[in-house]
Amino acid sequence: MVLGMSVMRMSWRAATAAAFVALSACASVDRAQMSQLVPPPAGSDPTLIRFVAVAAPPYSLSSPDSEDVRLQWLRKTLADNGYDPDHYSIVSRKVVAMDRALLGESHRIFYDVRVQPIAQ
């Protein structure tokens, strides 16, 4: 019986660790599905871009932790596109309702962001 309990505890710990790793990885996978960068139109200010993110379960609109995840997505997206992820400012943030469903509401968040290209 003691051996069985020991194995169960080890399995539980392994499952818990695996779940933690999976949840941590989800945010980076979700970034591609739940956010996008909109480049400035030709002839407009090249330092003003729009970042669009979805606020839907599990990244609710009212959760500070979810907003932190969206801002991580923004920084990663800026870095991936040649902008300095440490030097930007959010000029405006607008929320548009998308859907109300059984599992919660979905919104699209439009961030107008002043950016700096990474110095070459």
95, exposed or middle or buried, with CB in 10 Å at 0-12, 13-18, 19+? Answer: exposed
Sheet holding 83-101, edge to edge: 35-38, 48-55, 104-117, 83-101
For residues 88-101, give the mean pLDDT: 92
Residue 28 near residue 14, CB atoms below 8 Å = no
For residues 40-61, give the mean pLDDT: 92
Block residue for tokens 């596109």? 81
The confidence band for 18, taking pLDDT boundaries of 50, 70 and 90, is very low
Percent of the chain with pLDDT over 90: 53
Domain positions in the chain are 30-117
- The answer on pLDDT for 14 being more than 60 is no
Q: Is 43 left (phi over 0), alpha (psi -120 to 50) or beta?
A: left
